[in-house]
Amino acid sequence: MNRPPGPYRLPRGGSALAARAIGAAPVAARRRFRLDREARFGLLLVAPSLLILLLVSTAPLFVLVGASLFHIELTRPWVGGFTGLGNYAAMLGDARFWHSLQITGVYTLTTVVLQVVLGLAFALALVDVRTGQGLLRVAVLLPMILTPVVVGLVWRTLLLTPRYGLLDYLAIATGLGSHSWLGDSTLALASVILMHTWQWTPFVFLVFSASLAALPVEPYEAALVDGASSWQRFRHLTLPLLRPALITVLVVRLIIALRAFDAIYAATGGGPGTATEILNLYAYRVAFNSLNLGYGAALSTALLLLTLGATLAFGRLRSAVEATP
């Protein structure tokens, strides 16, 4: 499918190319000069915010990576100093790290897959609903508006409390029986996955709804004329057309899932035991509970690299997808 290239798809330096094409070098030079001045003025305008951004987000990042190379343990101030990759080497033999990495993997994969599948299903089901779209969207947005900590607490107290929680009530009513949802290792992990899915599926739904609404009608008319079944239309038209949106959703969801923290912190605190202790939570505990700042920094850096790697991989995937016609 060839989409008409939008203005944002112009190759870089497009205006310079155009200038050269009309063969007016002095004009181009003047224009570049003017542009440069404008650019400098623009830079001046954004400089304060850029500086603040550098100070509050980039600088701490370097401090974090720097700290991960040192042995900083507040509980034993007498040991310390540069250890190079010592903290990273310690990670290899740390069973709790591997466990948290595994939990992070399970949590990220299941939430992302569940959210994409459910979000797409809802978007497809509701794409033709004409009345009450506005109301529907507001209703769907609600979970996303909530602070994750609130979500964690609400789920923990109002929904999952044995005997009194709404979900436990439903479980009893449907014959599944009452369970300690956040007290059993497997159920607790399933519960926090459910929480995250509940909160973020609306996001996926919204992106897909918007994309579906913007799809061209012609290919579908052609497909109808050719007698394609609804599955064929979905498989060969809708899905390929949605691919860019799909990749974007995957990347955004992946990042959010990898850096999840608040809702789990509020709902289970990583427990029972370490059953829901994702890498982020473990890094936090090491740094702020056990006061082992160096190792905590190394764990955070590992998470950072993981997120960065996943994002880059998806970025590659996206450009590969966009390159294919």
Binding site for another protein (CB under 8 A): 74-77, 156, 161-163, 178-180, 182-185, 268-275, 285, 288-292
Q: Smallest gap, in angstroms, from Cβ of residue 74 to another protein?
A: 5
| Inter-CA distances, 247 with 141, 243, 311, Å | 21, 6, 10
Q: Smallest gap, in angstroms, from Cβ of residue 122 to another protein?
A: 32
Q: Which is nearer to another protein, 65 or 94 (CB)?
A: 94
Strands 70-71 and 81-82: antiparallel
Q: Which is nearer to another protein, 75 or 229 (CB)?
A: 75
Q: Which is nearer to another protein, 5 or 175 (CB)?
A: 175
Q: Smallest gap, in angstroms, from Cβ of residue 281 to another protein?
A: 12
| Inter-CA distances, 303 with 64, 100, 282, 307, Å | 12, 11, 11, 6
Q: Which is nearer to another protein, 133 or 290 (CB)?
A: 290
Q: Which is nearer to another protein, 104 or 268 (CB)?
A: 268
Which residue is listed with tokens 């607790």? 188
Q: Which is nearer to another protein, 166 or 213 (CB)?
A: 166
Q: Which is nearer to another protein, 104 or 161 (CB)?
A: 161
Nearest-5° Cα angle at 196, 191 to 202: 135
Q: Smallest gap, in angstroms, from Cβ of residue 17 to another protein?
A: 53
- Residue 292's DSSP bridge partners are 73
- Of 312, 285, 315, 313, the closest CA to residue 300 belongs to 285
Counting beta carbons within 10 angstroms of the beta carbon of residue 278, is it exposed (0 to 12), middle (13 to 18) or buried (19 or more)?
buried
Are 288 and 296 within 8 A, CB to CB? yes
- Of 72, 108, 68, 103, the closest CA to residue 88 belongs to 68
- Of 98, 102, 289, the closest CA to residue 189 belongs to 102
| Inter-CA distances, 134 with 124, 131, 138, 142, 168, Å | 16, 8, 6, 13, 32
Q: Which is nearer to another protein, 71 or 285 (CB)?
A: 285
Q: Smallest gap, in angstroms, from Cβ of residue 61 to another protein?
A: 18
Q: What is the per-residue DSSP string for 127-175?
A: TT--TTHHHHHHHHHHHHHS-HHHHHHHIIIIISSTTTSHHHHHHHHTT
Under DSSP, the state recorded for 180 is -
Q: Which is nearer to another protein, 156 or 196 (CB)?
A: 156
Q: Smallest gap, in angstroms, from Cβ of residue 65 to another protein?
A: 19
Residues in CB range of 86: below 8 A, 6 or more apart: 71
Q: Smallest gap, in angstroms, from Cβ of residue 78 to another protein?
A: 8
Q: Smallest gap, in angstroms, from Cβ of residue 174 to another protein?
A: 17
Q: Smallest gap, in angstroms, from Cβ of residue 289 to another protein?
A: 5
Residues in CB range of 256: below 8 A, 6 or more apart: 200
* φ and ψ of 151, to 5 deg: -55, -45
